[in-house]
Amino acid sequence: MHERGKTSERNGKSTVDRKIFIKNDKIGLAEYMESDYKLLFDSWQDDDTILGYNYRMPYSFDEYCDYVKDSTTWDAVIIRLEDNVVIGRIGMSPGLPDLTITILKPYRNQKFGTTAFLLGVKYCFEVLNLDKIYAGCYEDNVLSKRMIEQCGFVPHPAGNDVEQHIFSGEDRLQLDFILDFFCN
């Protein structure tokens, strides 16, 4: 399933040669390149990303770079194939096989998330040989909940968790979902 990306000229710019883990006709999930770190680090400074994860990145840029380099989990950038632009990241959280995604602000609400999540699911089952995957979102995140359900995940109430809202400090329910390879 791995494919090496091609270096070519587009719009007068040379595109990056990177390994493609999996793709469809519109997007690909590909290896991180050092040139992606700043863009992805900056996405963690966005209030919508912070709210979506209920988490504020505690790392400096240099610490973030070290974390990405040393990460033992599967992580990929999401690239739009028509122009090789990075539009987000997807990956597996450490420990529990929890599929996570971030779409960069200019590319949100364009169905890239659902498409990338479906590719991530396929990669997890077919290449990583996982037999189940978890995903989560907060009860007030209607778009993420819809995306997770469209990708075949079902509620897993035993994994639901109440956390303090990152901004208000009030209780916030994180919904847990599961997708079992053998039940699909």
The answer to whether residue 93 is domain-embedded is yes
Tens-place pLDDT, residues 38-86: 999 999 999 999 999 999 999 999 998 888 777 767 899 999 999 999 9
**Is the residue at 148 inside a domain?**
no
* Burial status of residue 79 (CB atoms within 10 A of its CB: 0-12, 13-18, 19 or more): buried
Higher pLDDT, 20 or 93: 20
CB neighbour class for 11 (10 Å; exposed up to 12, middle 13-18, buried from 19): exposed
Count of Cβ atoms closer than 10 Å to residue 127 Cβ = 13
- Domain of 44 in residue numbering reads as 3-131
Q: Quick one: pLDDT band at residue 182, thresholds 50, 70, 90? A: confident
The whole model's pTM is what? 0.87
> What is the Cα–Cα distance from 39 to 56, expressed in whole angstroms?
16
151 occurs within a structural domain? no
Give the domain CATH number at 79: 3.40.630.30
Instruction: Please indicate, yes or no, if residue 175 is contained in any of the structural domains.
Output: no
* CA-closest candidate to residue 119, choices 15, 25, 10, 28: 28
Decide if 46 is inside a domain. Answer: yes
Residue 2 pLDDT class (50, 70, 90 cuts): very low
Residue 75's Cβ-count burial label (10 Å; 0-12, 13-18, 19+) is: middle
Q: What is the rounded average pLDDT for all residues in the chain?
A: 88
Q: Is 178 inside a domain boundary?
A: no
Q: Length of the chain, please?
A: 184
Count: domains in the chain: 1
The answer to the question of residue 159 being in a domain is no
Per the domain annotation, does 90 fall within a domain? yes
Residue in 72, 96, 79 with CA at minimum distance from that of residue 6: 79
pLDDT band at 16 (very low <50, low <70, confident <90, very high): low
Dihedral angle over CA of 180, 115, 175, 137, nearest 10:
150
